Amino acid sequence: MLRAFLDYHRATLAMKCEGLSDEELRRASMPPSTLSLLGLVRHMAEVERTWFRIVINGEDIPLVWSDERDYQVAYDASAATRSEAFDAWQTEVEHSRRIEESAESLDVTGHQPKWEEDVSLRLVMLHMIHEYARHNGHADFLREAIDGTVGA
C-alpha cells in the first residue's frame, strides 16, 4: 500500500509537467518565490536520494546539485532543462525502488543525521508520501498558472 501511494504521487508530479516546454517548466510562481515545476522535480530528486540512498542505504554521497547538501540549490531551475531534471529524478526514483524492494522489511533502519535519530523504512515511505503530496499541491497551482490546466 505504501509503495502504491508513493508511486501514485510520483506519477502525479510527472503528469503535472506533461506537455510543457522547458521555459514553461522553469516559470517561477510569483515574487519573491522562485518555485517552479522544474525546481520541484529537481528537489524531489534530492529528497529521493537523501532518504533512500543516504539515510536507508547508508551511502556517503553528495546531493545531485550540491556538494554541501544545500537543498535550496535544487530549487534554482533557471538554467535547468526537462531532460537534466527528469533524468536525475528518474535515476533517483529507480535507486529508491531498488532499495525499498530489496529491504528485508519495512523495519529496516537508517540514520537521519538532521533528526539525530534512526528511522525505519516505513517512516521513510510515509515521509516521502507526505513530501510528494505537499509538493504536488504546489505543482497544482504552478500548472494552473502556466496554462489553466487543473485536476489530477
Distance of CA 35 to the CA centre of its chain: 14
**pLDDT confidence bin for 42, thresholds 50/70/90:** very high
Strand bridging mode 117-120 / 109-112: antiparallel
Angle (CA) 78 82 86, round 5°: 115
**pLDDT confidence bin for 151, thresholds 50/70/90:** confident
Angle (CA) 41 71 137, round 5°: 45
Residues near 91 by Cβ (< 8 Å), separated by ≥ 6? 45
**Chain position carrying cell 525499498:** 100
CATH class, 2-147 region = mainly alpha
For the cut 70, the answer to whether the pLDDT of residue 152 exceeds it is: no
From the list 70, 90, 86, 73, the residue with the least C-alpha distance to 25 is: 86
**Sign for the pseudo-dihedral over CA of 67, 115, 58, 1:** negative
Indicate the DSSP class of residue 52.
Answer: I
pLDDT, residue 145, reads 94
Give me the amino acid identity at 149. T
